Chain A
Amino acid sequence: MSLIPAELRFAESHEWARLEADGTVTVGISDHAQEALGDVVFVELAEVGKVFAAGDTAGVVESVKAASDIYSPVSGEVIAVNEALADSPESLNSEPYTSWIFKLKPSNTAELEKLLDAAGYKAAIGE
């Protein structure tokens, strides 16, 4: 059983998204995703200023086992990336919900509603 915080939204591709008070959206990968990947050793981050549509490739997480693309769960412009992951990529394993990967200024917050809620994600991963 993996951790699925109730206040987050999830993409079927295993990213989580959180709408912050200032209207930005923070993105990371789920506990289920980090567990499936195994030990994360490198994160290729997007560039700040880049504009993504929902579902665009927004970086790569490399574990010892394999490289996996991460996708932007909603549309928007990248306003920050978590540079601390360069030195401690393993924090995606140890703290998947505090180790964010990037922050977006969303172009349409209604897209968040199209993402899965905690119960929907739980069902999607068969837990």
Chain B
Amino acid sequence: MGQRTPLYDLHLALGAKMVDFGGWDMPLHYGSQVEEHHEVRRDCGVFDVSHMTVIDITGLQAKEWLQYLLANDVERLNTPGRALYSAMLNEQGGVVDDMIVYLMPTGYRLIVNAATRDQDMAWMETQRQGYDVQLQERPELALLAIQGPQARHKVAELVSQARGQLIQQLKPFEGQSNGDWFIARTGYTGEDGLEIVLPADQAPAFFNDLVGAGISPIGLGARDTLRLEAGMNLYGQDIHLSVSPLCANMAWTIAWEPASRKFVGREALEAEKAGGVQLKLVGLVLEERGVLRAHQVVRIANVGEGEITSGSFSPTLSKSIALARVPMATADRAEVEIRGKWYPVRVVKPTFVRQGKALI
């Protein structure tokens, strides 16, 4: 038996098909993964993401430490509530994890992946030696994501007036506390929406309110196709310990300036840049029928080979799409091997769908 979120019983009652995800029993879907996907793009849906790890960072040197620990620079978070996406690297420039960092009134809040929890905590422990900084995991909190064009409007009507107002006022990539809730306008779907951190004992009632108001529960299956269409990396597939962020479409998350800021992995990334980055993460679109899958081989004429890191069927585009790591010189055409046969694919920027609209 895996770990359970506070909503486990509700998932079962709603008919969820449960699967193991990083040691947690999580809902894969509640009937149809494709329908759930469309629901989020067209209207909105609610995801239980309480398996993710919330870590609060406090202490006199919290900022200084995060500036050393992370490839992005928390200095960019100049007002409380701002959020930042960052990689945490090892000395070789490989990705230990990716995360969202919020500036809180009393420090910082990190939300990291569930499957990497142990790796992250062990890494952070070794890196914090010599810093006046405290790490506090918050397993007593639940995390719900409500995503889709109608998400903020619908949630605002179900909560207190003060929280409703806050939800209407939040800017993209901003999060604020209200009482014991932390409400952020962030997500992992390419749609507008919210991520709400709240005490675990309040989560079932709130989740019930949302579902009762007609907001569909959405499983991890649709979460994966939504993030893939949005071109967002999944840790363990598109990024991992032996992948550099420069080869993962994450160059924009690395704060090179100020040049004086030393962060873990900086030297390795600088050497990689100086030598010429060899690989890039691109999008692939299969125009024929079939489904692209992780680990299929990509062949680029006169250039070389690459590999699909994430692939699936895109419900919005009604065709198969993938993220693939390929040689830097790859242009706009390639081929993918599916069961011994080579299929032509288009190479595109790895953002397929945003805010309900096809971009390719």
Contacts and interface: CB of A to CB of B under 8 A. Distances in A.
Interface string B280-294: 000000000111010
A64 B289 contact: no
Given A38-B29, A39-B34, A41-B313, A64 B293 contact: no
B290 A64 contact: no
B33 interface: yes
Q: Is the interface of B mostly helix, strand, loop or mixed?
A: mixed
B221 interface: yes
Interface in A25-64: 38-39, 41-42, 44, 60, 62, 64
B225 interface: yes
Nearest to A35: B17
A62 B33 contact: no
A90 B289 CA distance: 14
A90 B33 CA distance: 12
In this complex, the member of B17, B221, B289 whose beta carbon has the largest number of chain A beta carbons within 10 angstroms is B289
Contacts of B225: 64
A116 interface: no
A41 B291 contact: yes
Contacts of B320: 41-42
Contacts of A39: 32-34
A86 B289 contact: yes
Contacts of B293: 66-67
A65 B290 contact: no
A40 B315 CA distance: 11
B33 A38 contact: yes
B355 interface: no
A60 B28 CA distance: 22
Contact of B290 (A38, A62, A66, A93): A62
A66 B162 CA distance: 45
Contacts of A65: 28, 33, 221
Interface string B198-236: 000000000000000000000001000100000000000
A64 B33 contact: yes
Interface string B143-171: 00000000000000000000000000000
A63 B291 CA distance: 9
B313 A64 contact: yes
A62 B291 contact: yes
Contacts of B290: 42, 44, 62
List of 10 A-B pairs having minimum Cβ-Cβ separation, nearest first: A41-B313, A39-B34, A62-B291, A64-B313, A64-B33, A39-B33, A42-B291, A42-B289, A38-B33, A39-B32
Interface of B: 17, 28-29, 32-34, 221, 225, 289-291, 293, 312-313, 315, 320, 339
11 contacts: A38-B28, A38-B29, A38-B32, A39-B32, A42-B290, A42-B320, A44-B290, A64-B221, A64-B225, A67-B293, A86-B289
